[in-house]
Amino acid sequence: MNKNLRAAVIAGNWKMNKTRPEAKALVEELKPLVKDADCGVVVCVPFTNLETVLEAAKGSNIKVGAQNCHFEKSGAFTGEVSADMLVEMGVEYVVIGHSERRAYFGETDETVNKRLKQALANGLKPIVCVGETLDERESGLTEDVLKRQLIKGLDGVKGAGDIIIAYEPVWAIGTGKTATPQMANETIGYIRRIAKDLLSEDFSILYGGSMNAANAKDLLAQSEIDGGLIGGASLKPNDFSIICNCD
């Protein structure tokens, strides 16, 4: 992780896993393991676990995030949660535009953009996900897709602020297939150039997609990679802590 240039962050994405007692146990186990980590440590947990995890993480270096927020302030949006509800609880981070939300819940570049603006307006630190599918990579469309996701996703946003970008090739998520460190580095370098052109500022950019205790060191040693967004391995305290404790 290029800690001299940009903030390094390792964020866990628990997805739809863990009941409250399980969530508490996981955080309790994680706390001593990551207490000396030389990077930001974040866990993005289901809405139902936020209060439990905030309480369990109190006084530690573990920050708490949600996995989505709605783009309106309040109103008739059954089943949704607003950014200010999260902030009021003490939540600091929010994942926006994860590929699973794009694939299964109708998330588009436009809704990503609206959620991002709402998150920023409320002082949340957004982790905005971008990434190409296997078809898109194999058709040579990776750069076009990422450029479109960034242009539309960041449209009208003023300055990088607290935005973190996560590059997650869809074909690497939960599949055990990781982008090679060189491939991830090159693609994140491309994302950085586009994002810098758009907002004239640098961003912390994370890699996500089957990052684990065994491959994290090589990925995080790459000059463009500022951290990771970790799914499966974030559910195992020991593995997640190995990633957090990489230099």
Which residues of this protein are in contact with ligand PGA, per CB under 6 A? 13, 168, 173-174, 208-211, 229-233
Question: If DSSP states are collapsed to H, E and C, what string results for 30-46?
Answer: HHHHHCCCCCEEEEECC
**Residue 212 Cβ vs ligand PGA, minimum distance, rounded to whole Å:** 7
**β-pairing verdict for 9-13 and 40-44:** parallel
Q: Which two tokens stand for residue 109?
A: 């570049």
**Nearest to ligand PGA by Cβ — which residue?**
231
Closest CB to ligand PGA among residues 16, 76: 16
Is the distance from CB of 65 to CB of 45 less than 8 angstroms? yes
Catalytic residue among 100, 132, 136, 168: 168
**Residue 126 Cβ vs ligand PGA, minimum distance, rounded to whole Å:** 14
Closest CB to ligand PGA among residues 47, 155: 47
**Residue 153 Cβ vs ligand PGA, minimum distance, rounded to whole Å:** 16
| End-to-end Cα, the chain, rounded Å | 7
**Residue 188 Cβ vs ligand PGA, minimum distance, rounded to whole Å:** 15
Closest CB to ligand PGA among residues 11, 58: 11
98 labelled catalytic: yes
Catalytic residue among 98, 107, 132, 224: 98
Is the distance from CB of 96 to CB of 112 less than 8 angstroms? yes
The CA-atom distances, in angstroms, between 232 and each of 14, 24, 185, 224 are 7, 17, 21, 23
Q: What is the CA radius of gyration of the chain?
A: 17
Which amino acid belongs to residue 241?
A: S
Closest CB to ligand PGA among residues 5, 134: 134
70 labelled catalytic: no
**Where in the sequence numbering do the catalytic residues fall?**
98, 168
